Structure 1
Amino acid sequence: MIQTTSGSHPNSPFTPGYGRRPLVYGGHENLLEDMRTVFAEHDLGESQSLLLSGLRGAGKTSMLQRLQDLARENDWLVISEDASAGLHKRLTASIVPGIVNDLPQATKVELSSLGLWHFSAEWQVDRRPVRTLLRQDLATIAEHSGARGILLTIDEVSSGKTRLREVSAVAREVSHAMAQGVEIVIAFAGIKVDLDELLRQDHTTFLRRSRAVEFTRLSPPEARQVLDETAKIGGRTFDEDALRHLIAVSQGYPFLVQLLGHYAWTHDLESPTIDLKAAEEAQRRGVKAVMDRVMSKVFADLSEKDQEFLRAMAVDEDRSRIGDIVDRLDSYSQYVNGYRNRLIDSGYVEADGHGYIRFALPYLGAYIRSMAEPSAAEHADAWADFPPPSL
């Protein structure tokens, strides 16, 4: 809840931090409405498995959290994890036992009588009589937890061989649980090329029929809605010039929309209206922050060859001609087009007319150019006015 004091608005309603739910979610209204129906009416349809793709800061994690909220509101059991090493073990050795520990004692007595679990004198999970498969665990908790269904979300899917093998093993167990009639919805989130690699694994055939949702940029009206309605929730408004300026600076990048809103909010906490001066200060701080915190990591995620391709693109302020990139890389068209297609599939680059491409992420090109242009501060000697005294 946003708290304010008379004449002041100290707490920003904007949420640029990782994993924090936005108060106003922009875009993908159709998905949210469909999933509301899924959880309320058990009409799974095409939405029993979801693949949410997009780069850092595009809103995938926020969407997973929104889906979790919708599921809980409709009395579904939510299991939320990421695809880091040890996923399968965490599910079977920690998360499922934790769910069982929260069940009523009468239910635990029943599970004990069936020989499915052993409990201590305090009715906490002691040990498992036999080693069971995750599919059996899911079926057991679905039957005995009283939940109307299970939502399993797995964030940060990676195409690393070991992690991908583990995620695909979990997917296989979920598919068997579904085949046994367990009411379960599963959602994966990650970069598109990593999700595509997941679909190529053995035993993930059922995921190829998943509903795929791509997270890119918000439209200008969606960015306006997020900024305007979030500020109103906190008890303030943007003047029109400030709002238009922030929309333009954000370029619809969801993380930057939240970051700019936050910086504009904190510029003058006493004013009920956020003006253009606050928006311009937010631009100065927000663009630098998004390049330092996000674009640097987005660029570092790439292979050396992909980075080389993007450096050749960044020479141009706007769109780039493929022929120019071929010349800059001293390469040939077929080779360059292979990387072009890969980067488009990954979401870093987008086509912009025949023979042209441009950066899909705002400020990625500016970040790459900044690496080749050392600032004056890097060359300045901070101690020039304080030379050491003569000995």
Structure 2
Amino acid sequence: MTVERDYEPSPFSPGYGRRPLVFGGHETDLAELTDVFETLDFGESQSVLVSGLRGSGKTSLLSVLQDAARNRGWLVISDDASAGLMDRVMETAIPSLLQQLDQGTRARLTGLGIWQLNAQWEYVDRHREVRPLLRRDLVALSDVLAEHHPPAGVLITIDEVSSGKVRLRELSRFALEISHAIAEGANVMVVFAGIRLDLEALVEQEHTTFLRRSRELDFRRLSPPETRHVLAETIRIGGKRVDDDALALLVSISQGYPYLVQLAGDFAWRSSGSGPSITLADARAAQSRAITAVERRVISRVYQDLSEKDREFVAAMALDESRTKIADIVERMGVSDQYVQVYKKRLIESGYVQSDGRGYVTFSLPYLGDYIRSMNSESGPDAGRDDWQQYPPPKS
């Protein structure tokens, strides 16, 4: 049965892990990382740490890198840091990659004595004469890929890094195997993604010293021009126009938060139906739906992740509509400045809060302050100022 539609499907992608049509920010980093897939000149990009809050674009970046690597003939191992990572990679991911290789390459790998293939050159089992090690697999794959024209390598992306003790032990062992493969000359790029505190916990493990020299990407909010570009270009590619006042409102609604950019754009597009343009009325229709959705799907969960003292800190901040003076937080919490500085540092490293001029902080996550104020209602120098002050969020 064919379903006829009189409208174009939305070009926005607010779903988890979906690659956006237009990727905003980090253009230089992305270009340099993808260049490695062509040149094999790794430089500082052999290991990469991508930090950021939920919905900040980390997983989308991994998707962009994976597509770019595959397009240049690289093999891609993609997983998350949940229990059983090592077994999944060695017993499922790598055998699956073997099936993608041509017969000559598989014959070359069989000759190395690591994998057993049948007469049809299909994977059967791993030889057990030598204890199987991930480093051996990666070196073997890298060696045969280096003989391809053009030569290629292996990209490994691990999302959702966790700082739980059990997870860190397995991740540390996994990273150690990768470091040995790299030390043996394997053409491997590894990318770990998570919130900053969890990545820092990983880097501090006993066997992950090589990660301390990783390239670091910190995903926060897009700038106002970047936000405008992502919205306008996505709409253009999708086949519509957007009125200037509608675009201005969508920029203001989304506040540079990548997930909210996709969400607001998607709601506005759907509101426009079969019309050729997204109008101010469409943007207004998207406003409450997008803000409500991000509060339920992201902000409420972020708030639940906070400790009791973290919540006291952000509650003290939420008493102000804009930035908050540290001295006021000290007074409102009734504790010492040194005590407040500890929680300030932790919240900044987590990505929920950012410095906003000397002695001031503000929320990094749009609408977090509004969310806290709504819950409560129910029960100097400009250096480092946030340029989103020029784009206050619209009133609910």
Partners in 1 of 2:158 and 2:112 — Cα distance? 31
CA distance in 2, matches of 1:4, 1:237: 23
Equivalent in 169, 177, 188 of residue 192 of structure 2? 188
- SS in structure 2 of the partner of residue 299 of structure 1: helix
Cα distance in 2 between the residues matched to 1:93 and 1:282: 45
CA RMSD of aligned residues (A): 1.9
Shift of 1:330: 2.1
1:1-391 pair list within 5 angstroms: 8-120=6-118, 123-130=121-128, 131-144=131-144, 146=148, 148-374=152-378
| 1:339 CA displacement | 0.4
TM-aligned CA distance change 1:124 to 1:249, over 3 Å: same
**Structure 1 residues 304, 266: closer, same or farther in 2, change over 3 A?**
same
| Cα shift at 1:154 | 0.7
Structure 1 length normalisation: TM-score?
A: 0.90
Partners of 2:197 and 2:142 lie apart in 1 by 33
Which whole-Å CA distance do the structure 1 matches of 2:110 and 2:59 have between them? 37
Contact 1:9 1:235 in 2 (8 A): no
1:167 is displaced (CA, Å) by 1.2
Task: Tell me the CA shift for residue 111 of structure 1.
Answer: 4.0
Q: Distance in 2 between matches of 1:23 and 1:339?
A: 37
Q: Distance in 1 between matches of 2:330 and 2:175?
A: 41
Provide the rounded CA distance (Å) in 1 between the counterparts of 2:103 and 2:212. Answer: 40
User: Deviation string for 1:284-315 (max 9, x for gaps)?
Assistant: 11111111111011112222221222122212
Query: Within 1, Cα distance between the matches of 2:249 and 2:124?
Result: 59
Q: Which moved more, 1:185-194 or 1:365-374?
A: 365-374
Q: Is the 8 Å Cα contact of residues 355 and 362 (structure 2) preserved in structure 1? A: yes
- Give the secondary structure class of the aligned counterpart of 1:95: helix
- Taking the aligned partners of 2:214 and 2:132, their CA distance within structure 1 comes to 27
Report the secondary structure of 2:377's partner residue. coil
Deviation at 1:122, TM superposition (A): 5.5
Give the Cα–Cα distance (whole angstroms) in 2 for the partners of residues 106 and 226 of structure 1.
44
* Cα contact 2:51–2:58 (8 A) shared by 1: yes
Question: Any idea what SS the aligned residue of 1:317 has?
Answer: coil
Question: What SS class does the counterpart of residue 19 from structure 2 fall into?
Answer: coil
Flag the 1:105–1:70 CA change in 2: closer, same or farther, 3 A: closer
Partner-residue secondary structure (3-state), 1:195: helix
Partner AA of 2:226 in structure 1: E
1:372 CA drift (Å): 2.6
Q: What TM-score, normalized by structure 2, do the two folds share? A: 0.89
Gap regions ≥5 residues in structure 1: 376-391
Letter in structure 2 aligned against 1:222: E
Quick check: 1:306–1:343 contact (8 Å CA) kept in 2?
A: yes
Partner SS for 1:243: helix
SS of match in other structure, 1:43? coil
Is the contact between residue 4 and residue 10 of structure 1 (CA under 8 Å) also seen in structure 2? no
Q: Is the 8 A contact 1:23 1:230 kept in 2?
A: yes
Contact in 2 for aligned 1:4/1:11 (Cα 8 Å)? no
Which AA in structure 1 matches 2:304? A
Larger Rg: 1 or 2?
A: 1
Q: Contact between 2:114 and 2:126, CA under 8 Å: does it hold in 1?
A: yes
Point out where structure 2 has 5 or more consecutive residues left out of the alignment: 380-396
Shift of 1:172: 0.9
Of 307-316 and 45-54, more deviation after overlay is shown by: 307-316
2:316 partner letter: A
* Contact persistence 2:76–2:155 (CA under 8 A): yes
Partners of 2:168 and 2:67 in 1: CA distance: 27
Residue aligned with 2:160, SS: strand
1:264-294 per-position Cα deviation (integer Å, ceiling 9, x unaligned): 1111312111111111111111111111111
User: Counterpart amino acid of 1:289?
Assistant: A
Between stretches 47-56 and 353-362, larger displacement belongs to 353-362
Do the aligned partners of residues 149 and 315 (structure 1) sit closer, same or farther apart at CA in structure 2, a change above 3 Å counting? same
CA distance in structure 2 between the aligned counterparts of 1:314 and 1:296, rounded to whole angstroms: 15
Provide the secondary structure at the position in 2 that maps to 1:362: coil
| Contact 1:152 1:186 survives alignment (8 Å) | yes
Query: Is the Cα contact below 8 Å between 2:263 and 2:290 reproduced in 1?
Result: yes
One-letter code aligned to 2:221: R
Contact 1:9–1:234 (CA<8 Å) still a contact in 2? Answer: no
CA 1:150 to 1:108, structure 2 compared with 1: closer, same or farther past 3 Å?
closer
Query: Please, which moves more after superposition, 182-191 or 69-78?
Result: 69-78
Conservation of the 8 A alpha-carbon contact between 2:197 and 2:350: yes
What's 1:386 paired with? none
Q: Structure 1 residues 351, 107: CA separation in 2 closer, same or farther (over 3 Å shift)?
A: closer
Distance 1:120 1:71 in 2: 29
